[in-house]
Amino acid sequence: MRNRISTFLAYLGAGLTLLIAALVPFVLMGAFTNAIAHAGLHVDENYTGGSVARVLERNGYKILIYQPVRPHFLQRTVPFVQIAFEPVSALPAEVNEVIDLDSDGKPDVQIRFKTPADPQTALHGDALALDGKFLSFENIGNDSFSRMVIRIGNRILVRVPMSH
């Protein structure tokens, strides 16, 4: 009889331990979330494109020009400036914009790409550098972090590489 009771208590203890182990992450999720939020962690600018520096209003759409992104220690990317065109639904069938990226009053780059109606269609575009601070590219899609033309949601992102 004693053996049956100890076996029952052992199984009951194991079951309760498993139940508690399964519930602990849900109970402590708030504490984990707060700890991570207060840790000061953020997504690197190489992935986000940095922060918006200026917004240019066009006929029905906006051009967002971001701060230049320079690689940190041990990162192998080329410095770049990200440009966002939004909303995609208001863009002309072919975008051809001359843009001053560094706010010096002189055009720095000419961006060209076609806006496909199907959001799944891969984009390709050109950037013609009009200033020695930037690098040109032709027929680029999403080949690298530093040079790309890609659609994300309701915006088209163009990254123009900077010369070192």
What mean pLDDT is reported for the chain?
89
Query: The dihedral of CA 124, 130, 135, 136: what is its sign?
Result: positive
Q: Tell me the residue length of the chain.
A: 164
Q: Report pTM.
A: 0.75
In the predicted model, is pLDDT for residue 30 greater than 90? no
pLDDT tens-digit readout, 54-83: 999 999 999 999 999 998 888 888 899 999
Going by pLDDT thresholds of 50, 70 and 90, the confidence category of residue 134 is very high
Per-residue model confidence (pLDDT) at position 87:
94
The residue type at 147: R
Q: Where are the domains of the chain?
A: 1-41, 47-161
